[in-house]
Every structure is written in structure tokens, then in C-alpha cells.
Amino acid sequence: STHSLPLIHLPGLSLIQMPVRIRLARIGCRHDPHYRINVANSWAKRDGRHIEKLGEYHAQPDQSGVKRISLDFARTKYWLSVGAQPTDTVARLLGKVKLIECIDICRPESFLPFREAPAMEEKESTGDGTARNNEFGQHIVVKQENLGPRQAEGLAQRGKIFSGIVAQVNGPPQHELEDMIVQHGGRFEQYHASPVTHMIATTPSDTEIGQLQLERLVVKPQWITDSIRDKRLLPVDEYQLCAQAHNKNPSTLSVVKATNKIDVTKNENENENGSENENETCRFSDDFVAENETCRFSDDSVIEDETRRSYDDFVAENETCRPSLEEAWHSDIADSEIGTGNPIHHLRLTDANDPNFLEHYFAASRLHHLSTWREDLKLFAQSLMRKRKKKLHSGPRVLFHVDMDCFFASVSLRDRQDLVAKPVAITHAANRQDGAMKLKDSSSDLASCNYAAREFGLRNGMYIKTALQLCPSLTLLPYEYEKYQQVSYELYRILANYADELQAVSCDEVFIDVSSAFPNDPSTVVDPSNLAEEIRKVIYQKLGCNASIGIGSNLLLARLATKKAKPNGQFYLKEDMVSEYFQTLPLSNIPGVGWSIERRLSENGWKTCGDLLSVPLSRLRELFGPKQGSTLYERARGIDNRLISESKPRQSVGADITWGVRFETRDQLYDFVNRLSVHVFSKLEVARLVSYKVQFRLLRRTPGAGEPIKRLGHGECDAFSKTRRLGGGITSAMALQEACRVLCNSLSIPPGEIRGVGIFLSDLAEKEPGPKQTSVLSLMEQGQVDPIERVLKMLGYSQDVFDELSEELRQEIISEATMKRHAEISPTKQCQPPAKQRKLPVKLSAVKRETKMAKTSIIDMLASRPSAPTGVPQEIDQTVFDALPEEIQNELREHYRLAKPMTHELLTAPIADCIPGFCGMHNIEEIHKWFSKRLQDEPAAVVKVDILDLTEYAIQLVSLGGFTEYVRVVFRYIVAIPKENVHLLPTVQLAVDKLQNAFKSAYGTSISLE
């Protein structure tokens, strides 16, 4: 029966790419490594989710010196027969037990003696496995049958008790429970942050690992086992660990009701004027606001000096003639509150007055993710391309525009093969508990829908209620941000292998220049489609999702070609096709032509690119301005002179919240502005930039506008902004808060009217301008930095400490280290080192004076290590130590002796027992060492959890009180991580935000680097 699987047609994909692997997953502890032999999607993490377990392999010999392997022969044969690819190691194991030749032993779970370990050098077994000679390295050819990637069918045979269940297992026996869940149709998540439907735990403490589980359904493991026993999904009631955790208490419920009541009233009001419609493309307003009226509040008043006029003054003056009196709904809120005596905002957790609003909001916001990923990926792309040597190519340009098909939907559908052919959409509405009845009113956004859904007219960005009208059978799936991010970074890595140049566009979209893959001679005709095909195959194989590729000789053509290529295809828009292709191409298809410009064009009767051919350039410039006019003129003709990856460094850093903003008092507004300031300043710090200019913006509900169509949305609004330059730069979060408060006051908008708040910093400069770039980075690129590294390593730190030093000190270190290196290299200078070394100015005292980070970390390192016989700290490489000038050696020894009693109190903190991975660690050096190793050994997804764990630990210290300096050291360490590991930027920003939040709620102020 396993061979009558339905076929899925996947054009252009040969079977060899079936992305199902048979591979090892490491389980067991450090000293008893053993491995599970799993069937898994090739894009899954090594120890992550698998489709089916086939057996186990014990790398350590047992007492009788035998290494044991257990294997379900029948299932293994089945998987091989449908094209699952064993990894090399597994192939060797299978070869050893002769399964590859399909011997007819079919004893499930049988143990076989296995005397020699195969080599364990492949990626999946990073553990402690030492590479050995590979005696079993014969290549195995696995029979490919005509089945395509229907890998999950094996699982279908087991029934789907847990279909739709996403569990996070916290207590033991974790792996076994996860296995059971997967084998019966469910899924599990490893990370605290991931959305799950059920948490499985034996004791309440198991759920305290993260702090986000408060609202989750927590059930005992028995629920799993009993459900499997009864072959059906049992109700959770009797298995809930702690009913409180899931059921809201009655008082909360009643408040929710009260809130709804008000919403109903508001909705009724809205239905009468109901001016906002969903098809509006302009986010803030339907109509253009008359010029010179946009700032009427500040214009009407006689404010000259913004700093001298407080908001209080404004309110006092306007108390008697409040412009908002006519705006009924605002009074409604105030009235109901007074009437019930029930301060709603205290209990309504979803709006901006919740102190944790930003954290929760950002965690859930797709557009926030999209934006931050884009910035991070720009840097990641740079770092990827820096490592590749530049190829020069003078032949014709060949540009690929690579874009994942229905990205969010595709990622989710990897694990839901049953849904691929059905219409599917990714949306927050998928998390709704209540029935489908209410979904048809949902104003939740549709982020991404698959192509089956698009046949019904569904489009990204629609409201769910609209989508359901067009397609009642639509399946809704929730966001899975972790996965999108992982796929994005992997996509970039893959494409960097093919690219001469690479330009990040978004998390699912990249331009690459692949010209050098083709001959210089323009007369030779080579079809770039083959290369595109190959890249798409690799993407599918590695990521399990389809990409489409547009090919063109400039960015515009490549971009337009992608539209035609989709889905799951490629298209070469050759230059000789341009005139025909563009004649009928709607102008709205030109990137940069959106809703507004399209309308202005159509007002002149221009709809297609062909229509613009007869319009003189001068006319277009007259109508649209010099730049936009010229651009339109060129784009309509297929002309695009932009160069790929020609991007300036970042020009601005900001944050903009236009959802959930509902203030009733001035203090609420200020509190929120303060929290947003902290966030923006920490973004600036993580980006290692300084800024000299603040722009503050408020969205004000347009007078007379109806209620927003989107729940807690901004509705129809006008935007008001003020800018302020700070000569000395914005030096702290508090300075930013002050600046924002001033600007906020000068805008003079009643809090109840505000629907959005934005803070944007510009006039940016590198935090340590000049020297940092020219010295450290360039030296590192030239490979001249090793002596510095040795010195710094010896000090227990690397680049991050170095960058904290003053310019002079760094310069000295560099010059000395460079000379030292030359001395080492050149034998003729052997006589010189003593003199040089004597001058080496890397004095610990100077270093310590310069930075607290260096001070604390060095002293801490010294304090935390017992003395070696020579007086050399054990962790310092003796040869490195010996190579140091005597002066430094002495200084090290001296500090080593002195430091311990002095600093113990300051620099040790309670052991973080509750944080996995940090057990027993209580000083920064241990943590640093741990991270250095993890950064080297572990994939980003794992280090990411480490960082979040460390953050949790720091947050616990904060809530304990005290340990401020220690937390600061941890904070600085975290902030420094992305400098060498750009791919961790998203995590670090998240961690920093969390830490800042915790610090602020404990101490009322954010923590600073200094």
C-alpha cells in the first residue's frame, strides 16, 4: 500500500532532489553519545523534527566492546525505495548491515553487533566524535523511484491522532514523547518562543523555562500516551497540569466582555459614517489633506519656542474649547469608564499602554519582522560577499531576481503536504479559538497565500474577511517566524555561491549578478535558464520551498520577469522582447508605481507603458518632478541604469507604531514615548551608530473620520512631525526621551486623538568613526591582526574589548602588534623583538582604565582562575604568555594575584540553575568562553537560544536587584556579538529589547553600555 502514494507534479524537479534524508540525530549526553537514525526533511535542523525514527546507533562500545545499532529494516527499506537519501554516515552504517543490498532480514528493532565505528566526520555528528579513517566509504547508489517528494506518507500510515497539534515537550522523557507526537500526526517545537497549541510537562516548574507560557495549555505526558492507547485525541481537561494556566479567571473574562461592549458601540458609530474601506491603498488617509492645513494645531497656536511650552499649558488653554468635544467616540470611552468605575486600560493587555506592549507587538508583527530582517540581511549579504573574491567580468550583464513563491505559505506547507493543493493563507486569524462564524468578520491581514488560493482572487495584504468571501474553503495557518528567518538566511547563503554581486531585497527576495558564469563575448549565445534551473533546484532541495527566478539585463527586467516566471518557474525577459512586452504592460506593474502614482497617471489617460511612449520627458517631469518624471520615462521603455548592490550605508534608524495606540491621558502618551525611545536607542546601539537628528511623528485621527476598520488600527489619520538637531549627538536613551518629549509637546495633539507614534534618527555616523574601520577591520582583512588577537585572547577577550579602547591605545596596540608580526615573520629582525616588546604599550592598567568592560572582564578572568605553578593563569596559553614582554607578564601575574579578593563581590552572580546551558556559570568569563565555543560549533538557531537564555538569566538578575555592573557586562557582551556574527543580529536586537524592558521596569531607566 505504501507504493500507491498519490503523485504530486513538480515541474522541473527530478527525483534525485527529493529532500528527504535518512540521517543521524544526536541524543544522549556528552559522555554517552548515541544517535537516532531518522527520516527527516533535508532542510530540518539536525536534531530537529523528523518524520520517522528508524532506529538507534550507539557510538560508544558497550562493556563487550560492541557498538550497537538498532534498525527497523522494513521501514528503512521502504524509505530507501521511495528515494530517501541516507547521509554518508548512515549509508556506511546501512552498508555495514547490508541493508543497502536489501537482504531479507526484516526484524524490526533488532540489535546487531557492530565492531567498528564508521567515521563520524559529517556535519550531523558534530558532537564529540573525532574523525577517523573511513573504512566503509563506498559510495551507495540508492534506487530512485518515481515518487517525488511525498515524504510524509510514511507518517500517514500511523493515523493522525495529533493532527493539528503543535506541542512543546518540557519534561522527560522528552524525545520519546516527541516521537510519539510526530508518529501520530502531530508536531513539536523546540524553542520557547515558538507558537504551540499544547505544552507537555510533568511539573509546573517545567513550564517556567521561558516566561511566555503563562497563557498556554499545559498538559501532562499521560495525555499523549492515553490518546495513543485509545487511538483518539482525548479531551485535555483531565490532563491539564494547572487549570489556571489556561483558563482565564472570571474577573478577566468579565472585563473582556465590558470591553467588547464598548467596541460594539463604536462599531455601530462606525457603520454610519464608515468611510474607511479595505481597498484603500494609502494607509493613513483616503483623501489628501489640504496643504497648509496638515499642521493646523501648531500653526494655529502661537508657539515659537517649543521648549518653553508644555503640553500642560496646551491642555489648560484648550480645556474650555476642546476641539474633540464633537468627536463622540472619545467621550464615549471616558463616559463608560466613569460610569462603570472600571479603568479599562488597566486590564486590557493589547494596547500600547501595556508596559510590555512593544515586546509582544513586535513578536507578533509580520511587518516588523519583514523590516528588521531586511536590514539584517543587508548586512549579512555584505558579510557573505566580503568573503568571496571579487570576479571581474566585462561581458554582458546577466541579473537574476530570485523570489520565493508565496514565501510564508510555502514554509508552512512543507510540513503540511496534505494542504498543498488546497487554498491556504498565513494569518493571525488562524490562532483564533472561536468558530469559523466570527472569522468571516476578521480584520486580520492575510500575509501570504498559496497559488491555489490566488485562483480565487486572494492576494497578500487582504483582510481575512474579504479572503473568506472570495474563498470560503480557505485554510488558515499561523505565522512561523523562526522558520521564515532560517529559510531566509539559508537562501542568502545558497545564492552567494552563485553571485558576483548580491543585493538584498527582502527575506524572500534577492538580486544576484551572475554575468561571470557566461562568456565575455556577446556574440556567443548562452541560455542563462539552465543556471536558473539549477539554482532553483538547489533551493528546493535545501529549503523545501520553491523559488522563481526572473532573468534580465537590468534590475527592472529581471524583476518584471519574475512576475511572469511565477509560480515555480523562470523567465528570461530578453531585451529584444521589451517593446512588445511593454506595450501592454500596465504601468502599475512597474516597481515604484503604486496606488498614488498609478492614479495620477491614469488621470492623464495613461494606463500602460505603451501609453507613455508618446509622452515627452518634459511633460512627465512637469507632472511628477524631475527625478520621478525621468524615472517613469525610462522605466516605461525598459531602461534601468541602477547598478546592483549600489547601496549607501544606513541613513536612518527608527520605529513606528500605528497599531494599538489608544491614550487617555498625557502620562500614558509620555510613558509610551519613553518606551519607544528606549527601543529606538537600543537599535542605534546595536547598529553601532550615533545620531544627531531626531524626527518625532504622531498620527492623528482625521477629524470626523469613522472608526478604524481594523481592530485597534489607526484608521484615517493625518501625520504630523517635528525634527530636532542635537549638536552633541543623542548620547543616551534618556536624552532621546527628552528630545521626543519636547517634540511631542510642540506637536500639541490631544492624547485621545493619537493613533500612531514614530521616532526616527538620522544624521548617522559610525559610533567609533574612522580609526575603527581603517585600523581594525582593514588590518583584519589583510590578515595582519593575529598578534593583536593573541594579545587580546590572552586577556580573555577578542575584538569587542579592543573596540572599547581609546583611539590612541588601539593605535598603539595595532602598530606594536604589526611590528611584532613583522618581527616574527622576518628572521633578520630576530634581534629586535626585545626592544619592541619593551615598548609594547598594552598595559593592563591602561586597558582597564579605558573601559569598564575590559576592566571587569580581565579582572574577573583573573579572579576566577586558580593559580598555576608559574603564576600563569591556566587558561592562558603558556607559549603566548612566554612570548609576551616581561613587563606584561609581571603585570598579569600581579593582577592575577591581587584581583580575586577585590572583585569577587562585584563580579560574581548567583548561579543560573534554571537556565539550560548556563548551569554552574556565574561569571562573565565562563559565559564568554561558552559562547565563543558555541558560536564556533553550533548552528545559528542553537546559539540563538543560548543568547535568549543568557538574556533570561540577566533578566532574572535584574529582577533580583543588584548585580547591575554584572548585568551591564553581560549586556555589553550581547551587544558585541553581531559584530563578528552578523547573522545573529535579529536575536541580539530581540534580546537587548527584552533586557531593556526588564531593566526599565526594575529601575525605571534603561541600562547603558557605559
Ligand X SMILES: Nc1ccn([C@H]2C[C@H](O)[C@@H](COP(=O)(O)OP(=O)(O)OP(=O)(O)O)O2)c(=O)n1
Partner DNA sequence: ATCCTCCCCTAC
Partner DNA sequence: TAAGGTAGGGGAGGAT
**Which listed residue (433, 523, 614, 641) binds DNA by CB under 7 A?**
433
Distance from C-alpha of 775 to C-alpha of 802, rounded to nearest angstrom: 11
How far is residue 240's CA from residue 221's CA, in Å, rounded to a whole number? 10
Answer for which of 114, 191, 624, 692 binds DNA (CB under 7 A) is: 624
DSSP character for 500?
S
Helix (H, G, I), strand (E, B) or coil at 57: strand
Contact flag: residue 407 with ligand X (CB under 6 A): yes
Q: Is 275 in the site for ligand X (CB under 6 A)?
A: no
Angle, vertex CA 920, rays to CA 919 and CA 923, nearest 5 = 115
Applying CB under 7 A, the span of 284-292, 314-322, 857-865, 954-962 interacting with DNA comes to: 284-292
Query: Which of 652, 845, 870, 878 is the binder for DNA (CB under 7 A)?
Result: 652
Give the integer Cα–Cα distance in Å for 91 and 123. 14
Q: Which of residues 855-914 bind DNA (CB under 7 A)?
A: none
Q: Which of 700, 722, 741, 855 is the binder for DNA (CB under 7 A)?
A: 722
Residue type, 1007: I
Shortest Å, Cβ 38 to DNA: 33
Among positions 240, 448, 553, 702, the unique one binding ligand X when judged by CB under 6 A: 448
Nearer to DNA, 264 or 316 (CB): 264
Q: Pick one of DNA, ligand X, Mg ion, none as the site partner of residue 698 (Cβ within 5 to 8 A by kind).
A: none
Q: Is 178 exposed, middle or buried (0-12, 13-18, 19+ CB in 10 A)?
A: buried
Which one, 519 or 729, has the nearer CB to DNA?
Answer: 729
- For DNA, which residue of 10, 112, 295, 420 counts as binding (CB under 7 A)? 295
Cα–Cα distances (Å) from 566 to 333, 403, 538, in that order, read 49, 9, 17
Q: Residues near 625 by Cβ (< 8 Å), separated by ≥ 6?
A: none
Binding of DNA at residue 657 (CB under 7 A)? yes
**Nearest to ligand X of 351, 403 (CB atom):** 403
Which listed residue (291, 304, 603, 905) binds DNA by CB under 7 A? 291
Which of the listed partners (DNA, Mg ion, ligand X, none) does 720 bind, with a CB threshold of 5 to 8 Å by partner kind? DNA
509 catalytic? Reply is yes
Note the helical H segments in 826-923. Answer: 833-839, 844-850, 852-864, 878-883, 886-907
Report strand pairing: 501-506 vs 509-513.
antiparallel
Query: Given the complex with DNA, which of 39 and 476 has the nearer CB atom?
Result: 476
Residues 33, 64: contact at Cβ < 8 Å? no
Considering only residues 498 to 537 of the shown chain, the ones binding ligand X according to CB under 6 A are 508-509
407 counts as binding Mg ion under rule CB under 5 A: yes
Closer residue to ligand X in complex, CB, 194/460? 460
CB 707 within 8 A of CB 270: yes
Contact of 881 with 892, CB cutoff 8 Å: yes
| Contact partner at residue 448 from ligand X, DNA, Mg ion, none, CB < 5 to 8 Å by partner kind | ligand X
Instruction: Write the interaction track for Mg ion spanning residues 509-548; mark x where CB under 5 A is met and - where it is not.
Output: x---------------------------------------
* Span interacting with ligand X, options 279-287, 386-394, 403-411, 709-717, rule CB under 6 A: 403-411
Asked whether 516 and 394 are in contact (CB, 8 A), the reply is no
**427 sits near ligand X (criterion: CB under 6 A):** no
Is 569 a binding residue for Mg ion by CB under 5 A? The answer is: no
- The length of the chain is 1010
Piece in contact with Mg ion (CB under 5 A), picked from 77-85, 398-406, 753-761, 876-884: 398-406
Residues 724-753 that bind ligand X (CB under 6 A): none
Q: According to CB under 6 A, which one of 460, 529, 645, 818 is a site residue for ligand X?
A: 460
CB 18 within 8 A of CB 85: yes
Residue 465 vs 810, nearer CB to DNA = 465
Tell me whether residue 67 or residue 559 sits nearer to DNA (CB atom). 559
Q: Nearer Cβ to DNA, position 135 or 299?
A: 299
* Residues 697-716 contacting DNA, CB under 7 A: 708-715
Only one of the segments 217-225, 278-286, 336-344, 667-675 lies at the binding site for DNA (rule: CB under 7 A); that segment is 278-286
Dihedral angle computed from the Cα positions of residues 582, 587, 588 and 593, in that order, rounded to the nearest 10 degrees: 120
d(CA 424, CA 420): 8
Report the residue number, 94 or 676, with the smaller CB distance to DNA: 676
Per-residue contact string for residues 199-218; x = within reach of ligand X by CB under 6 A: --------------------
Q: In this complex, which beta carbon is closest to DNA, that of residue 363 or of residue 945?
A: 363
| C-beta of residue 71 within 8 angstroms of C-beta of residue 8 | no
> d(Cα 24, Cα 37) in Å, to the nearest integer?
5
How far is Cα 52 from Cα 59, in angstroms, rounded to an integer? 21
Q: E strands within 920-1002?
A: none
Least distance to DNA, CB of residue 806, Å: 30
Residue 657 CB, shortest distance to ligand X, in Å, is 17
Instruction: Tell me: does residue 492 bind ligand X (CB under 6 A).
Output: no
**CB distance 42 to 541 below 8 Å:** yes
All three cell numbers of 304, joined, read: 515659537
Helix (H, G, I), strand (E, B) or coil at 513: strand
Query: What is the C-alpha to C-alpha distance for residues 814 and 396, in angstroms, rounded to an integer?
Result: 43
Separation CA 61–CA 576 (nearest Å):
68
CB 96 within 8 A of CB 72: no
* Contact status: 688 vs DNA (CB under 7 A): no
Which residue of 178, 270, 445, 508 would you call a contact of Mg ion, by CB under 5 A?
508
CB of 369 to Mg ion, least distance (A): 13
Amino acid code (one letter) for 331: S
Which of 124, 189, 359, 509 is catalytic? The answer is 509
Q: What is the smallest separation between the CB atom of 358 and DNA, expressed in angstroms?
A: 9
Could you tell me if 167 and 187 are in contact, meaning their C-beta atoms sit under 8 angstroms apart?
yes
The one-character DSSP state at 307 is: G
> What residue 566 binds from Mg ion, DNA, ligand X, none (CB within 5 to 8 A, per partner kind)?
ligand X
Interface with ligand X, residue 406, by CB under 6 A: yes
Which one of 422, 693, 772, 979 is in contact with DNA (CB under 7 A)? 693
Applying CB under 7 A, the span of 59-67, 442-450, 527-535, 789-797 interacting with DNA comes to 442-450
Contact set for DNA, span 732-761 (CB under 7 A): 756, 760
Decide if residue 408 touches ligand X (CB under 6 A).
Answer: yes
Quick one: which segment of 299-307, 350-358, 400-408, 623-631 binds Mg ion (CB under 5 A)? 400-408
Q: The cell 563581590 sits on which residue? A: 905
Alpha-carbon span 612 to 633, nearest angstrom: 7
Residue 408's binding partner out of DNA, ligand X, Mg ion, none, with CB under 5 to 8 Å set by partner kind: ligand X
- Which partner, Mg ion, DNA, ligand X, none, binds residue 190 by CB below 5 to 8 Å per kind? none
Q: In whole angstroms, how close is the CB of 547 to Mg ion at the nearest point?
A: 8
Q: Is 461 in the site for ligand X (CB under 6 A)?
A: yes
294 touches DNA (CB under 7 A): yes
DSSP 141-188: -PPP-TTTT-TTHHHHTT--TTTT-EEEE-SSSHHHHHHHHHHTT-EE
How far apart, in whole angstroms, are the C-alpha atoms of residue 3 and residue 82? Answer: 8
DSSP letter at 40 equals: E
- Beta strands 52-58 and 34-41, pairing class: antiparallel
In the numeric block, the cell 493532527 is attached to: 163
> Which cell numbers in the block locate residue 405?
513563491
Rg of the chain over Cα atoms, rounded to whole angstroms, equals: 31
Residues in region 555-574 near ligand X by CB under 6 A: 566
Contact residues toward ligand X (CB under 6 A) are 366, 370, 403-408, 447-448, 460-461, 508-509, 566
Mind telling me the catalytic residues?
509
Residues of this chain that interact with Mg ion (CB under 5 A) are 403-404, 407, 508-509
